[in-house]
Amino acid sequence: MSEQGQRVAVLGGGSFGTALASIASAKGARVRQWLRDPALVERINRDRVNDRYLPTFRIDDNVEASTDMQYVLSDAELVLVAIPSKAFRQVVRRAAQWITPDQILVSTTKGIEAERFTLMSEILLEETPSRHVGVLSGPNLASEIADRQLTGSVVASDDPVTRTRAQQALSCDYFRVYASNDRYGVELGGALKNIYAIAAGMAHSLGMGENTRSMLITRALAEMSRFAVHQGANPMTFLGLAGVGDLIVTCSSALSRNFRVGLALGEGKTLEEAIEALGQVAEGVNTVALIQKKAAEEDIYMPLVSGLHQVMFEGVPPHYMAKALMRGELSSDVEFTLPREETRSHHNDLTSSS
């Protein structure tokens, strides 16, 4: 079957889910989008605008919004799950009664469930009978996608059917979907980069320059890939769109919600004030605490996460984050070519011999 005529369901009424629904619909798919809010559903179907998240974007005429989850999921071949991580399991558990083993489920959520350090695709595997599970991640600012800015993304799954169907349904003249078989690495990249967007926003508020931002982004890449590889991801994944690509955009753009949280913290606002001013979910806030705890438990060296955690949750002034970056142990640049432990050993040897 070609992408023409695919039946696509979108769970979630946020900006990214709305943009993806329109892309699939404009390509000829039958698209139904589930939202909780009946008033917003009515406005979308009447005015073709999601005024809560993308107020200037006209939704494709053939996208049908509904609060009836069974109706939305009925005979859908591809289901895009665009639910914030806090509510992800709850919504998926509710949807599971209408999901079949042959339906393709693709998570677009960049987050981690706290209780058992569970990724969103793992929740899909745990809660549904689907045999086709993947993730979509990359440098995907929804407002730019809505403006039809050229954008690349990655669909990751060990299942070729999932990768192919998602590419067919969503690739168009301005949104190109690449394939990966490292679902865990792609998904971790999408979750971890949110942490460093907060750090980048904070650095910007503190007046740090381009040299600093370049160092911050590359050390963030080293840190997040170190963590992900320790969890079983492929280090090469982080050279692609879901790694360095997503990290660059989220650490450089005021459109990034996590970057804006960092800006507010750097201006002296409390974490609570920063979140309130944002008015939307910034997944990186919870991810900082999760990764700090996991890294401590598994003895993974993450000085940026540690410094950011102290600023956000322990009342340490924002400029401390810079000290965490500059005063960490002297180490290697790319530790997959020169292991950090080897550099540490050389320092110890020279110190003991002098």
How distant is the alpha carbon of residue 320 from its chain centre? 26
Under 8 Å between Cβ of 145 and 176: no
Can you tell me whether residue 107 is helix, strand or coil? strand
Question: Alpha carbon of 344 to those of 47, 90, 332, 348, 349: distances in Å?
Answer: 61, 45, 9, 6, 9
- Give the bridge partners for 153, in sequence order: 177
Question: Which residues make Cβ contacts (< 8 Å) with residue 181, sequence separation at least 6?
Answer: 156, 157, 158, 163
Rounded Cα gap, residues 223 and 225, in angstroms: 6
27 DSSP 8-state letter:
T
- Give the bridge partners for 79, in sequence order: 9, 105
| DSSP element (H, E) containing 18 | helix 15-26
Q: Which of 27, 110, 193, 269 is catalytic?
A: 193
| DSSP codes joined into one string, 223-260 | HHHHHHHHTT--GGGGGSIIIIIHHHHHTT-TT-HHHH
269 is catalytic: no
Dmax over Cα atoms in the chain, in whole Å? 77
- Tell me which residues are annotated as active site: 193
